[in-house]
Structures are given as structure tokens and as C-alpha cells.
Amino acid sequence: SRFSTSAANMIKKITVIGGGLMGSGIAQVAATTGHKVTMVDTSEDILQKSVKSIQASLARVGKKKFANDEAAGKKFLEDALSHIKPTVNIKEAVKDTDLVIEAIVENMDVKHKLFRELDQAAPQHTIFASNTSSLPIGKIAEVTSRKDRFGGLHFFNPVPMMKLLEVIRIPETSDETYKKLLEFGKAMGKHTVECKDTPGFIVNRLLVPYMMEATRMLERGDASAQDIDSAMKLGAGYPMGPFELADYVGLDTCMFIIDGWHKDYPENPLFKPVPLLQKMVADGKLGRKSGEGFFNYKKSSM
């Protein structure tokens, strides 16, 4: 095909920077698909939590995959874990890696600081990718001397369950780099789609304004959160309604995305900030992770 690479040329060793929800998921799936993974974060404490969450997720996947074979399930879990090396040492983690996937905080200055360091420490052949959901890949790449070996790999939460991978190219991304990224995505068992470096790529460009429009509907008092969610699940076949999804993604993340786009494109009405969302975030209602968002997740109330 237009994009096929010889086996010798394929991405085998990867480094994931960031052991949060996305980074852990990416490390997990890469490990279960035969890649050697190094996972980097800033403290042993965080890394321990990441490994714990990977273990829990692997157990869920294994339980289903090997329903009638406990030993095979255990082996699946142990094999995958043995392919993930957690470390706080960035230089060591990238010294012979084929691909670095960045999944850290959505802050341009912090990403720039990281990529400057990576650009110094990583070998020539290493490809860099960002898992950013809303920042321009081209802007992140600016601080490196390898824009031809730079792209976006945008995964979806929960990474082990969601089949899609958006593969983003910037104008400088070489054809060789791009085809390696596409092949890596397929090797991870994902369905890849090709995206340009536009706000939100494909999924978030549609999904985020949709969640914001639902919030505006709630703000106007047109319907309850529960009914809007039921309507979209039962009337449009979505697995989660817009509010369940927003709580799942995190309301701070949703707000960060929409407010950032509004700053860059003030004339676009789809990107208008949503006061209700801003108030909830200011009140510490961040969704599932804080125990409350549009819905309540505190154990006592369940």
C-alpha cells in the first residue's frame, strides 16, 4: 500500500512520557501488542500508581479475553507488565528508543521544556509524537530540530477499549515518519485515521462543541442533565450521554479545550466559553475524578 514499511524499519521500542490516565493506557496497549515500553514520570510515587492502574485494567481485559483459562489470563498480565519499565530518568528512557509519545499536562510551556530536553537526549532516528487533544502539534514541535520526525498520536479514553487512533501530520512531517506512525497505530491494534493539524483534529472538533451545546441547553433550562443524556443514548445510540462523557473526560479538561480555542478563534460561536462550565470548575466540580460533576459519584450517595 501507499504506507507500508519493512519489518526491520518498524517501531519496536517506545517511551511514554506521563503516567496519567492516557499515558498509562498507551503504555499498557503498546506492551500487550509486543512493544518494549518505558514509562516516564516525575516521581516513583506517581509511577507506582500508574503501574497499579495498568494492572487493574489488564486484569479486566484478561478476565474477558481468557474467561475460561485463569492461568492464561495471569500470564497475559505478567507478560504485559514485564514489557513496561517505569522510570524517572528521562535521558536513560530515550537513549535507544524508536518513538516518544508525550502525554503530559496540556501546557505549551511545560511541553516545550520537555521537548527541548528530549531533542537533546534522543538519538537521530527517534520520532516524537504528542497525544495532545487540543494544542497545535506544529507549535509544540517548534522547539525541536526534528520537525520532519514529529507528529501527533491522539488516543481516546479508555485507551484499551477505544479502537480509534488519530494520526496527525504537520506540514513538515516526512512521508517516512508518517507511514511509520500509521503502521505503529495498526501494530497497536487501533483503527487509524489521517488528520491535519487543525483544532481538535476530527473527534474533539465535533465532540467538544457537542458537549458544550448540551451544557448551554442545560444552562437555559431546556431539559435536565439526566434527560439530555438519556435522549442522546437512546435516541442517537451514543454509549454515554454528553454529561456522563464530560464528567468522564473531566470538566477542567473540557473547559481548558474550549477556552483555548476561543482565544485562538474568537469569532467562532461554537468555541464560546460556557459560564455554567466555568462555575462548576471554579467550585471544584471536575467530574468523576473529583467525585462530582454534572452527576454525583461520591460513594455515600450511591
**Active-site amino acid positions:** 133, 154, 166, 204
Number of helices and strands in the chain (H, E)? 12, 8
Bind-site residues for NAD(+): 18-23, 41, 106, 111, 133, 157, 289
Pick 105 or 161: Cβ nearer ligand 3HC: 161
Pick 10 or 105: Cβ nearer ligand 3HC: 105
Pick 57 or 126: Cβ nearer ligand 3HC: 57
Contact assessment for residue 181 and residue 129, using Cβ atoms and an 8 Å cutoff: yes
Query: How many residues appear in the chain?
Result: 302
CB 95 → ligand 3HC: shortest distance, Å? Answer: 29
CB 132 → ligand 3HC: shortest distance, Å? Answer: 8
Bind-site residues for CoA: 57, 64, 133
Please give the residue ranges that form the binding site for ligand 3HC (CB under 6 A). Answer: 57, 60-61, 64, 133, 156-158, 160-162, 204, 207, 239-240, 245, 249, 253
CB 254 → ligand 3HC: shortest distance, Å? Answer: 8
Pick 10 or 110: Cβ nearer ligand 3HC: 110
What three-state secondary structure class fits 225?
helix
CB 248 → ligand 3HC: shortest distance, Å? Answer: 6
What three-state secondary structure class fits 131?
coil
Query: What is the per-residue DSSP string for 233-269?
Result: HHHH--SS-HHHHHHHH-HHHHHHHHHHHHHH-TT-G
Place of cell 483459562: 69
Bind-site residues: 18-23, 41, 57, 64, 106, 111, 133, 157, 289
- For ligand 3HC, which residue has the nearest CB? 133
H helical segments located in 66-107: 70-82, 90-94
For residues 201 and 183, what is the distance between their CA atoms, to the nearest angstrom? 19
